[in-house]
Structure formats: C-alpha cells, structure tokens
Structure 1
Amino acid sequence: MLIKKVDTFPLFYKLATPYGDANGYKKYRTCYYIRITTQSGMVGWGECVDWLPTLHTGMENRIIPYLIGKSVTDRNPLIQVIKKWHSRAASAVSMALTEIIAKSSGLSVCDLWGGTFRDKVPVYASFQSYTDTAQWQSNSLQCIEKSVQEKFLTIKLKIGGKSIAEDQTHIKAVQSQFGEQVNIALDCNQSYDLVAALQWQSLFSSWSNIVWLEEPLPIHQTDGYALIRQKLTVPVAGGENITTAADFLPLLSSQALDIMNPDPLHVIGIDAYIETLQLARNFGIRVSPHTYDGALSRTYAVYAQACLKPWGKMETDCIEPVEWDVMENPFSKIVPLYPTSGEISIPKGQGIGLELDEEMLRYYRWDGSNYH
C-alpha cells in the first residue's frame, strides 16, 4: 500500500467572545487535518494543532513530498523521520496511517489494538473558566448549568489565572450550586508555586467531590509535585505536554503523580501514546487523557481508553474519563461522535468507523491571512 496523495485542511475560527485559562485568553480556535490516500484508494485521517503558517508550510514543502510513494506499512519508520521535523505533524500522520492499516485489514482501530474491555467510555466536560468581563464568574456558572443538564458527571474548571481569593470564590459558588451533582477537577495550567498550591488544602479537606488538582506547578518540578502529593488530600494530575512515555518516568519513579494526563496530539505518534497508557498501568496509577484541542485526537483517546484494561477489579468506575471540550468550538462537530449522559458509545466499523464532515472542513478552511 503506497501513499498516493496527502490533502491538507488548515482550519480557523474566530471566537465570538474570547475565553481562557491561566495561560491567557483564546481569541480563535485552529486545527489542522490531513487526509492520506493510498494508490488503491484507501483513506485515513489525521489531526494536529500548531501555528498554522509554520505548520502548513512544513507540511506542504517537506512532509508531503517525503510521504508520497512510501509504504503505509512502514508507519513507525516514517514517524521516526517526521518527528525530527515536526513532532505534532508526526502525530497526525500516525493517526492517518493507523486508520489505513486497520481498514486494509478489515478491522476497526480498536480491533487493531487488540479489542475493547468496554463498549462505553466516560467523558468529562472541560471548561475555559475565564472571560474578560466583570461577570466571568456568573458566566461560568451558566455554562456549567448546561453541562449539568446534559448529565455530565464530572467537570473540569480552570484556576490560577486570577487571584487565589477570586478563584476560591468562584469554586465555592460552583460547589454551592452544583456540588452534589458533579465531581470537579481543577486545572492550574502550571501557574502556582508550592506555597500557592497548598493554600487550597483548607478547602479540599472539606470537599469530597474534587477528583484531582491538575498541574499546580511547572511539570519539571518533580520534587515539588512529590511534596504536594503528600500534603494535599486530593489526587495530583499532570503531563499533557509530555511527548514520550519515557519522559513520564521521573514523575512516576518519584511518586509525584496520582493521575497521568497524556495527550495524543502531543505524544509523538499513536503507538507511542498507547505505550504511555500502558506505562501508567505498569506503575499502578490512573490515566485520564487530555484532549482539549482536537475532535479526531479525542476520538483516538476514547478508543484507546476502551481498549485499556481497568485500573481495578470493582464493577464500576474502573476506567478513567476522557476530556471533552464544551466551549464554543465548531471543530468539535467535524467528527460525529457525541456523548450521552457523560458517556461515549464506541461505534462499529472499519478504521475509526466514522465519516468526517468534509463540508465543515471546507467551510472553516483558513484563508492564509495573519490571524493575530
């Protein structure tokens, strides 16, 4: 199976109202899809996210010419080369080639990976809590209300972008209004030092529905994470930007994390992503994927979670949830996979078993203009 052509779909959407986290406000959403077609007409889709001008130039001028005429079955050697040029582009190519391999074998991606342990996977509603208005807290509560009505059992909220007092006022309001209905993860986006992170413990000690505190410190501060894990009464999570399974080892060997959050867009290649999930199980900790930036990569994370052995032997709650972006983002609808009561049912069919909305891919195609 030789690669005949690669089509690209750089996507851009300007947000009606900017929203954000501790890293700042997002004024737009972008994404980048590729479609690889073999000489026999087999098609596979991939996705990545990065600064579109650089990504698109590199894809068109270097990566696509390299791929044309190569064998799909050489996907791992191909990824090893492409990751030296652009690691996130390598992830997109890995997805597309994985789907083609599955289709050519008459299998779903899950079957290619060895089969599923479950036919449904939980997802949690992920929010960007901040807006640049004085009413940001009330706006947040309104957004949460919608997800609660849609029966999400777990939500993730942002802290670290405002003062600790403001953030704690916000989370107290959330607890007051929704605390008996949902579990809550809090994501700091690496914005705190040790002293600031520990100021949350007095609240955590009185709340039973906090499922984890995500990335309170810069992720390389392994000793700090180990200490926070000892001091806090809630699980500590992190690792969304880590690119290989091996890079998690310092955190794991130091017992610095309770929950790993790898992202299939950031780990270099789907096979390496699967290795990361297995690493978590080998160390006996949980793994809840970060999948905020792309609907296709989120789909792969859901499928991988369906194929992952449970973390325990209890009949329920033995698989960790996958992140589900509930903010304004039309690209979420490109892959027709939607939750019901906070769960995704795994579709049947070859490859990913879904047809992407190519009309949306054309409609939101980036026109090449500067989007600052």
Structure 2
Amino acid sequence: MIIKQIDTFPLFYRLKEPYGDANGYKYYRTCYLFRIRTQSGIEGWGECIDWLPTLEKGFRDRVIPFLLGKKVTDRAHLITTIQKWHDRIASGVSMALTEILAKIAGLSVCDLWGGKRREVVPVYASFQSYSEDNDWINQSIKKVETVADAGFQKMKIKIGGKSFLEDARHISSLVKLFEGQIQFALDANQSYDLFTALKWNAFFEKSSCWLWFEEPVPLQNHSAYSLLRSRCHLPIAGGENIQKPNQFIANIQAGSFDIIQPDPMHVMNIDTFRNILQLARYQKVRVSPHTYDGILSRFYAILAQSCLPAWSKMEGEEIEPVEWDVMENPFTTLLPVDPIKGIIKVPSGVGIGVEFDEKQLESLRWDGSSY
C-alpha cells in the first residue's frame, strides 16, 4: 500500500461562446485531474481546481515528492499536511486515497462509507444564463427548452448580473413557458442588497414553480440572511465557498440558510464534506451540494448523497438534488455518468465504480501556454 506513481492531467478547454453569471463571463473551462498508483498497481483518482500553472508547480515541486513512498493508510496525516499548502489539492488527494482504500478492501466507495441508502440520486440542471449576445434572454430560453426536452424537471437559473428589470423579464418568460413543468432555483451570486432581494417576492408569490433562492446577498451579512429568511417566500440556500464545518455551524446558528450547499472541492477533504452533510441532518437543515466545477467531485457528491439519510420522515427516502452542469463543458463526459430525466443511477462497482476516458483526457490536456 505504498504510493509509487502520480500522473497529472491539467485540462483546458476554450469555449465556443462565452457564458456567465453575476460574477462575469467564462471564456474557458479548466480542471486538474490526477491519478495516484500504489506499488501493487491499485489506483485512485483525485480532482482540484485553481490556476493551472499554480497547480502544476505545486504538484511537481511539493505534492508528488511528498506523497511518493508514503503509505496509503496514513491518509489522515497526508491530507492534513497537504492542507497546509493548498486546501483544494488536499481535497483531491482525499478522493484518490479514498478510492484506493475502497479497492484494497474490495468495496465500492459507498460500501466503505457504510452503504447506499438509495440506488438513484436526483440532479438539477445548472445554467450560466448570460451571454454576450444582445438577445441573451431568447438564447437562454432555447437552452432551457433543450434541457427540458432531455427530461430535467429541476433547474437553476442565474440572476443578479443584469438590471433587476431585465432579469425579471427573463424569469417571467421562463415561468410563463414552463409553468407546471419545471421547478426553478434562482441564484444571484451574492449580488443584491436586502431591499432588492425582497423585490423578488412579488414573483415568488405568483407561482409554485420555485425550488429556492440562492445566495441573494453577501454571505457575511448574517443579519440580512436571517431577516430575508423570515420574509422571503422561498427557502434560502447558500454556502458553496464555505470551507470548514465551524463556518457552516455559524451560518446555521445565525439562521442564514434553509439549504446548505457545500462543495467537495472547496471544503478541506471528502471526509469533511460528508461530515458537513451529516451536520445538516443533525441540524434539520436541507443540503444540496454545489458541484459546478468538476465531474469527479460531482460524482463524489452523488455517492455521498446516496448514503445520506432522508431529510424528513415526510419525504420518505427522497433526497435533495445535486448540481449538474449543463453548459458547454467537455469535462462532464470524462466519466460515463449520464442523467436520465434528471436522475443518476449510482454504480455498485469496486472503488467509484466507473472509469475515466483516458483518450479524451489526453485530447483536453493543457499545453502549458498562457490563457
């Protein structure tokens, strides 16, 4: 169980057309995948995200030299040490070592975690709603139509990047077109003050097609979130960039959220991610993981969600949905995990139960040039 080899796969893809949210436009997508292999040939995959030159240098100069020759069973110590250098790399390493340990035991990752509670997990279609085209509203509607035709019934739409009136026209058009067919979450990416956020109540009270209102105001404004929860007609969701359990506890105690949204790549490691999911259950708060940036971290969130107890006795064994990126992004197809009508069937094979398309990995490899 000694680590013998680490292969890295820095990935880069330039988008055909930019798309974005209230934080700005994306012109490319990046991801950093890596494979850890033991002396006996057992391997596990990890994933992280950051500026590719930073990750490449970090792995070559520090992470790889540190991990080579170490025991996989020293996982906790290895992850804790790497956390001091780079939190997101540590999270990725925790994924890879978890998969290796599951394979050594001849188990699936879910079995290693105590077993699945359900065979399928729902996902919602996550959009980046804005484009640079003047006719961005109609472009957005066409994309939603395409995804609706594929069977998704839950979707997240971006707001906060345009004027309130322009965003309102967009959302009104979607509600009118898909009323009774689609449930929508609205994500403002912390763009509003409390007064503007509450203006959306006029829309929320006219329809029952809503899922939640995501991060409408700056995250550190606990008092605004507490007041918003008492006045808003929708559940309030957030927390994708929160890194530590105690930070989630502070937000829950402050009454900030009805739904927390931890991201496997943003918290300290995959065990911490699972602890945060369980923390939500202890506090009777719903949890819908944020997983926009990578296919492997998204898959780990799906595995973790399949093992999680139901939120409420009234919900039976139903579970909250996981985010699924439906924008132009070839990284999504690197694993053979495809939603059917917004549902993912959880595999039962050893480890994570699926294999990467290594030919496609090589085709997307970053060439080291500036971007």
What's the TM-score once normalised by structure 1's chain length? 0.98
Q: Identify the residue that residue 123 of structure 2 maps to in structure 1.
A: 123
1:20 and 2:20 matched: yes
Matched to 2:348, the amino acid is K
SS in 1 for 2:28: strand
What is the count of residue pairs matched by the alignment? 371
Deviation at 1:316, TM superposition (A): 5.2
Q: Identify the residue that residue 332 of structure 2 maps to in structure 1.
A: 332
SS in 2 for 1:347: coil
Q: Identify the residue that residue 298 of structure 2 maps to in structure 1.
A: 298
1:310 and 2:318 matched: no
Deviations 1:57-77 (A, max 9, x none): 111111110001111111111
Q: Identify the residue that residue 282 of structure 2 maps to in structure 1.
A: 282
Q: Identify the residue that residue 84 of structure 2 maps to in structure 1.
A: 84
Q: Identify the residue that residue 170 of structure 2 maps to in structure 1.
A: 170
| Shift in alpha-carbon separation, 1:317–1:142, aligned structure 2, 3 A | farther
Deviation at 1:147, TM superposition (A): 1.0
SS in 2 for 1:197: helix
Deviation at 1:56, TM superposition (A): 0.9
Q: Identify the residue that residue 204 of structure 2 maps to in structure 1.
A: 204
- In structure 2, what is the Cα distance between the partners aligned to 1:207 and 1:50? 39
Q: Identify the residue that residue 238 of structure 1 maps to in structure 2.
A: 238
**Percent of aligned positions that are identical:** 56
The worse-fitting range, judged by mean Cα deviation, of 201-210 and 97-106 is 201-210
| Shift in alpha-carbon separation, 1:149–1:156, aligned structure 2, 3 A | same
- In structure 2, what is the Cα distance between the partners aligned to 1:48 and 1:83? 13
1:251 and 2:247 matched: no
Q: Is the 8 A contact 2:185 2:210 kept in 1?
A: yes
1:60 and 2:73 matched: no
SS in 2 for 1:174: helix
SS in 2 for 1:168: helix
Deviation at 1:356, TM superposition (A): 0.4
SS in 1 for 2:26: strand
How large is the Cα RMSD of the aligned pairs?
0.9
Q: Is the 8 A contact 1:222 1:250 kept in 2?
A: no
- In structure 2, what is the Cα distance between the partners aligned to 1:121 and 1:316? 14
SS in 1 for 2:324: strand
The worse-fitting range, judged by mean Cα deviation, of 261-270 and 247-256 is 247-256
Deviations 1:25-84 (A, max 9, x none): 000000000100001110000111111011111111111100011111111111111011
Matched to 2:307, the amino acid is C
Structural mapping, 1:35-184, within 5 Å: 35-184=35-184
- In structure 2, what is the Cα distance between the partners aligned to 1:101 and 1:324? 27
Q: Identify the residue that residue 3 of structure 1 maps to in structure 2.
A: 3
Q: Identify the residue that residue 360 of structure 2 maps to in structure 1.
A: 360
Q: Identify the residue that residue 223 of structure 1 maps to in structure 2.
A: 223
- In structure 2, what is the Cα distance between the partners aligned to 1:13 and 1:316? 41
Deviation at 1:315, TM superposition (A): 5.5
- In structure 1, what is the Cα distance between the partners aligned to 2:192 and 2:92? 32
- In structure 1, what is the Cα distance between the partners aligned to 2:318 and 2:337? 22
Deviation at 1:354, TM superposition (A): 0.4
SS in 2 for 1:44: strand
- In structure 2, what is the Cα distance between the partners aligned to 1:252 and 1:218? 15
Q: Is the 8 A contact 1:94 1:270 kept in 2?
A: yes
- In structure 1, what is the Cα distance between the partners aligned to 2:71 and 2:242? 29
Q: Identify the residue that residue 348 of structure 1 maps to in structure 2.
A: 348
Matched to 1:2, the amino acid is I
SS in 2 for 1:85: coil
Deviation at 1:248, TM superposition (A): 0.5
Give ranges in structure 2 of 5+ residues lacking alignment: none
Matched to 1:345, the amino acid is K
In the TM superposition, structure 1's runs of 4+ consecutive aligned residues that sit over 6 Å from their partners are none
SS in 1 for 2:314: coil
SS in 2 for 1:35: strand
Q: Identify the residue that residue 33 of structure 2 maps to in structure 1.
A: 33
Deviation at 1:318, TM superposition (A): 2.6
Deviations 1:227-255 (A, max 9, x none): 11011010000000011111111110122
Q: Identify the residue that residue 186 of structure 1 maps to in structure 2.
A: 186
Deviation at 1:314, TM superposition (A): 3.2
- In structure 1, what is the Cα distance between the partners aligned to 2:181 and 2:7? 45
- In structure 2, what is the Cα distance between the partners aligned to 1:316 and 1:348? 23
